[in-house]
Chains A and B, each alone.
Chain A
Amino acid sequence: MSTGGNDGGHPGPDYSNPGPLDGLRVLELSDEKGQFCGKLMADLGADLIKIEPPGGQNTRYVGPFLDDKPHPERSLSFWHYNTSKRAITLNLETADGRRLFRQLASRADIVLETRPPGYLPALGLGYNDLSADNPRLIMCSLTPFGQTGPWRDYLTCDIAHMAGGGQMASSGYDPEDAENAPPIAPGGGNAWHIGGHYAYMGILAALYWRDMSGQGQYMDASIHEACALTTEGAIAIYLSTREVVRRHTGRHASPDNSVKIQLPTKDGGWVNTTRSGTALNPARLRRLAEWMDQYGLAQDLLDEKYNDLATVQADAQHTTDVLANFILNMPQEDVYRGGQERDFPWGAIRSMDEIIGDDHLEDRGFFVQVEHPELGRTFTYPGAAAIYNGSPWRISRRPPLIGEHNEEILCGELGVPREQLTMLAESGVI
């Protein structure tokens, strides 16, 4: 792997060390709401046991599927969100299922659960029940609205959170780009990402405090609150001016009509040219103009009058128009890289077609090969956002099959006699 010059010259992550959460046992009782938070912990070295209902968690039935063949072991969505985990099946609505779960919880560090508020306490599996056996336990309930409040029991899904959290009110189109367009919910299932990131943060804070105090605790996390926190300046703008932002195509929502920065390219793409028209000075404009001139597209921008800052600023609209015309005559990737090489922090609007195989990502070891032995195939997964040089992030195993670790954990660890597995399966416990 080429490092392209690592900071301080250190040699890259030390793979002789385990991940930073090594030695922590996490139980995950979660659907789409918590599987991402679980993945964050599992890839960082926690020993995470996913507890699914018999037949598998519902997230195994979300597409896309491998080769478009729907099957609970072929969901690519499930695959992504469940790397590095082990899995057992357990029906918590049976007495035996509850007993086994309590046994597991008595030796766990963290329980992460996303059941409706009140569901686990009604089964005798709430924090008070579980911490009685294990006062060091940290239990995080990550739910749509938290455990209290008038909306506590409301049903949601990703787009419902994008609406209630304010993401949609900030995202959409300038009227000239799409007339009468609705507010647009950004895609990708980000309600669960936003909730998962904040839940991870709270869990780690609880862990740190446990290291200091010896005590576990309960954590009530709300996806709605996490989303409501995640619209950057919209809240501050309202508090400061009592103005609500308006939606613009591919750039910040704002109270005014800001300059367009998402510019189309020759090959049908777009480049985000953040602040290109307004932050220019004579030196930067000249750098741009010389580049455009190589393609005969600089128009008058090499004129001497642009050696004057006031002129550059006064002609910002003209400069933007010339730039837009240049970009319209260039391929997306060339504009992006050419701009960056000239110190313009631009971004190509990439799809996976351009991202997979990117050389910088390759340098960072971002593309991770994960073997699925039962399929006899190896697939490329997305890697880590952050390189932990002293305690590496890694995908330690492919996503688990349904009940794959029942025997290993129930028999090997909890001491359930092997011959009882059949009975437990027949009676719907596992």
Chain B
Amino acid sequence: MSMPRPLEGIRVVDFTWVRAGPWAARWLGTLGAEVIKVEWPENLDTLRQNRFTIPEGVEPGPNSTGQFVDTNANKRGISLNVRSERGLELIKRLISVSDVVIENFSSRIMQRWGLGYDGLKQIKPDIVYVSMAGFGHTGRHHYYGTMGPAAQALSGLTFLSGLPGKPPAGWGWSYLDDTGGMYGAMCALTGLRNRNATGRGQHVDLSQMITGITLTGPAFLDKSVNGRGARREGYPPGNRTVWPGSPPTNNYRGPTVAPHNSYRTRGGGYNDWCVIACYSDQEWKSLAKVMGSPDWAGDSKFNTLKGRIDNQEELDQGIEQWTVTLEKYELTSVCQAAGVRAMPVQSSEDRLEHDPQLRERGMYSEMEHPMLGVWRFQNAPYKLSKSPAQMRRPAPMLGQHNMEVFVDLLGLTPDEVKEAYDEGILWPPEMPMFPYMREEVASL
């Protein structure tokens, strides 16, 4: 790997935890920044405790969760009690030689430590400071807390997803942790670009919840401009663009067309489904042909968009009679060969093991992790021809890089480091050390 990294030379102090914040800093690391994650084991990152992602046969513990290991890849990690006087002094020294500070605490924590923007810029005048609180740092409800699902609910995203007459299906994961994470990285990159142009740093005050509202633009304008609310008959229309029998108002996904739905495929398994959408009369004709021109599809009532929408139940039933005869990848392939938009519903297993496109593009790459062994990591979804994003290291183990950071970077003497350990600044005195740390401390 000899290609240059785009953020080579940038140092990031990463106070983030859980998912959105760590995901943001992860991308800065993947792009070549030196990201130093600051942790304190008494307030353990909840992803280090994710019980679903400790593989069988691996010794449980905060260094053993698959979800943490990928979410925090390409970072180094230190353990430091920032709530102690000496710890705070050390973190200020680190900030003084860094370019970006990023955190997703509640809105006033950093200020309490004297590390709000005013404090940070005294330490490093051109610092780019990205805060990622749920409601942001500005506004009367800045202290409200959010996890991904609550943020999705409040932003209007949850309401956009589901079947009419049922509770919202919402999003089956913390989409706004993913999006908040991307956004955090975007804010840091934008702040750095602005610093290149002007020489000035700044505080970027991101609200995770509001990132969601910016993804509901057409629904927002339908209300603010047309006065049409989303609490209406037939909305949201599931996987269709319009629910049978309801007025054909736009559903904010794209054009109003039919067919446009999910269909069962051969096998009958939990994820044996595909989607098919026809955006024109021609695409519908092509689909009818691919299906072997069954009699029902030849009925002239399906020739027009209006006819297909008026007879959507019959249309979808007819299509599904055909889709259940094919395996989902085979179905995708025959539809696409005929110019029909179709894709398999892919589970995590499908993406990792069966998706030929992701395999060909090298979406997942393997690195060795001390606890998990060889592990697959998710790569950036873009290829930069001259300075690509690169997977460099799995997530740090707790305090793994204390020596590198405190001795090599900040210039503490071995005696000073030993003293910091003894005083409980670098590790809680009553907590047993991991073997890798014990060895290092013993050698001081």
Contact = CB atoms under 8 A, between A and B. Distances in A.
Interface in A318-357: 336, 340, 343-353, 355-356
B382 A10 contact: no
A166 B211 contact: no
A28 to B, nearest CB: 17
Interface string A71-104: 0000011011100000000000000000000000
Contact of B381 (A4, A163, A222, A249): A222
A391 B193 CA distance: 11
A221 B363 CA distance: 12
A22 B139 CA distance: 27
Interface string B374-403: 011011111111110100000000000000
A255 B196 contact: no
Contacts of A236: 50, 52-53, 65-67, 69-71
Of B156, B179, B183, B332, the most chain A CB neighbours within 10 A belong to B156
Contacts of A171: 161, 169-172
Given A20-B190, A249-B170, A347 B138 contact: no
B160 A7 contact: no
B215 A188 contact: yes
Of B136, B150, B249, the most chain A CB neighbours within 10 A belong to B150
Contacts of B319: none
Given A2-B140, A44-B190, A347-B154, A64 B218 contact: yes
A186 B157 contact: yes
Contacts of A247: 169, 172
A146 B383 contact: yes
A339 B206 CA distance: 23
A169 B348 contact: yes
A288 interface: no
A351 B156 contact: yes
B360 A62 contact: no
A274 B147 contact: yes
Contacts of B162: 184
A193 interface: yes
Contact of B153 (A194, A272, A359, A389): A272
A363 B139 contact: yes
Contacts of B213: 355, 361, 366, 382, 385
A221 B256 CA distance: 27
A232 B66 contact: no
Contacts of B357: 145, 149-152, 224
Nearest to B158: A349
Contacts of B275: 159-160, 162-163, 168, 185
Contact of B159 (A177, A261, A350): A350
B160 A235 contact: no
Interface string B165-202: 01111111111011100110111011111101110111
A157 B145 contact: no
Given A156-B343, A182-B273, A241-B56, A364 B136 contact: yes
A155 to B, nearest CB: 5
A217 B383 CA distance: 10
B207 A385 contact: yes
Contact of B169 (A172, A219, A272): A172
B361 A231 contact: no
A245 interface: yes
Contact of A240 (B55, B110, B131, B349): B55
A208 B170 contact: no
Nearest to B56: A241
Nearest to A199: B382
A201 B189 contact: yes
Of A66, A248, A346, the most chain B CB neighbours within 10 A belong to A346
Contacts of B4: 209, 213
B282 to A, nearest CB: 12
Interface residues of B, number: 172
A428 interface: no
B202 A182 contact: no
B166 A157 contact: no
Interface stretch (B80-88, B220-228, B411-419): B220-228
Given A184-B162, A366-B210, A232 B178 contact: yes
Of A44, A81, A250, A340, the most chain B CB neighbours within 10 A belong to A250
B316 to A, nearest CB: 11
B206 A385 contact: yes
Contacts of A406: none
A414 to B, nearest CB: 26
A189 B219 CA distance: 11
Contacts of A66: 225-226
Interface string B99-131: 000000001101100001111000000000001
A340 B141 contact: yes
A202 B175 CA distance: 20
A188 B169 CA distance: 14
B31 interface: yes
A427 B349 CA distance: 53
Nearest to A228: B351
Contacts of B174: 232, 252
B19 interface: yes
Of A162, A204, A230, A261, the most chain B CB neighbours within 10 A belong to A204
Interface stretch (B304-312, B333-341, B422-430): B333-341
Contacts of B435: none
A291 interface: no
A306 interface: no
A347 B153 contact: yes
B78 interface: no
A355 B361 contact: no
A170 interface: yes
Contacts of B225: 66, 76, 379-380
B140 A168 contact: no
A272 B210 CA distance: 17
Contacts of A12: 138
Given A233-B50, A345-B146, A363-B139, A160 B202 contact: no
A412 B225 CA distance: 34
Contact of A205 (B7, B230, B363): B7
Interface in B239-282: 239, 249-256, 260, 262, 264, 270-271, 273-275, 277, 279
Contact of B155 (A3, A152, A355): A355
Interface in A112-162: 127, 140, 145-146, 148-162
Given A7-B111, A274-B149, A164 B173 contact: no
18 contacts: A7-B137, A22-B197, A152-B357, A166-B346, A168-B273, A171-B170, A188-B160, A194-B182, A207-B193, A208-B189, A209-B4, A228-B381, A236-B66, A249-B170, A274-B149, A381-B221, A385-B183, A386-B207
Given A232-B173, A250-B168, A355-B220, 7 more contacts: A159-B275, A160-B275, A170-B171, A262-B167, A361-B139, A381-B221, A388-B202
Q: Which 3 A-B pairs have the closest CB atoms?
A: A390-B202, A347-B150, A80-B217
